[in-house]
C-alpha cells in the first residue's frame, strides 16, 4: 500500500489488474478494486492513452508571458510613482528651507556693510569656508575661480560675483 501513495504509475498498473471480489461482501454487491481506483484518479489521469489533458505548451507560454508582462508593467508603474513622490518631497523640503530667500547684512573685506540688494542683477556664487584653512579651502577657491572665468566667457549671461563668507 505504501507504493500506491508514492508513485502515480503504480495506480495505473494496479488499475489494470483483474477485479476481485472482496471477502465479506453481501450478495452480488462486490466492490471491485478497479472501480475504486478509477474513482480515486483525477481528470488528468483518466484521459485517453494515459496522456494528461490540459492547455498546450504554446498556451501555457502565452499565459506565462502575459502574466510576466503584467507584473513588469505594474513594477514600472510603482517605481515611477515612487520617484514622483520622492521628487515632490525634495521640492517641498527646498521650499521649507527657503534657500536664497530673505536679506542678509555682512561686512566685506574693507569693512563696508553689504546686503542682498547690492548684488541685484548679478549671479552670486557663495562659498562658506575658513580663512585659516591650509588644506581644502585654497583648492575649492581655485575651482570657484575657474567656474567664474567660464561663466564670464559665455555671452549673454549676467555678471557673476563670487562671495566668500568666512565662518571663523
Whole-number percent of the chain with pLDDT over 70: 68
Residue 95, domain extent = 57-99
Confidence of residue 71 (pLDDT cuts 50, 70, 90): very high
Return the pLDDT at 38. Answer: 54
Q: Decide if 35 is inside a domain.
A: no
- Whether residue 33 is contained in a domain is answered as no
Q: How many domains does the chain have?
A: 2
- Pairing outcome for strands 160-166 and 123-129: parallel
Do 67 and 113 sit in the same domain of this protein?
no
110 and 74 fall within a common domain: no
133 is in an annotated binding site: yes
Q: Are residues 126 and 110 in the same domain?
A: yes
100: left (phi over 0), alpha (psi -120 to 50) or beta: left
Confidence band (pLDDT; 50, 70, 90) for 30? very low
Same domain, 131 and 81: no
Indicate the helix (H) or strand (E) that contains 139: helix 137-153
pLDDT at 107 > cutoff 80: yes
- Is 115 flagged in the annotation as binding? no
Amino acid at each position: 500500500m505504501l507504493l500506491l501513495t508514492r508513485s502515480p504509475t503504480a495506480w495505473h498498473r494496479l488499475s489494470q489488474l483483474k477485479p476481485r471480489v472482496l471477502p465479506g461482501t453481501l450478495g452480488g454487491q462486490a466492490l471491485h478494486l478497479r472501480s475504486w481506483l478509477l474513482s480515486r484518479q483525477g481528470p488528468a489521469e483518466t484521459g485517453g492513452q494515459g496522456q494528461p489533458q490540459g492547455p498546450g505548451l504554446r498556451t501555457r507560454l502565452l499565459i506565462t508571458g502575459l502574466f510576466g508582462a503584467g507584473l513588469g508593467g505594474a513594477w514600472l508603474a510603482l517605481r515611477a510613482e515612487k520617484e514622483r513622490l520622492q521628487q515632490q518631497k525634495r521640492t517641498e523640503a527646498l521650499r521649507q528651507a527657503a534657500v536664497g530667500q530673505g536679506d542678509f547684512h555682512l561686512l566685506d573685506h574693507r569693512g563696508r556693510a553689504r546686503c542682498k540688494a547690492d548684488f541685484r542683477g548679478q549671479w552670486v556664487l557663495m562659498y562658506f569656508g575658513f580663512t585659516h584653512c591650509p588644506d581644502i579651502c585654497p583648492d575649492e577657491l581655485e575651482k570657484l575661480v575657474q567656474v567664474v572665468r567660464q561663466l564670464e566667457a559665455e555671452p549673454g549671461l549676467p555678471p557673476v560675483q563670487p562671495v566668500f563668507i568666512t565662518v571663523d
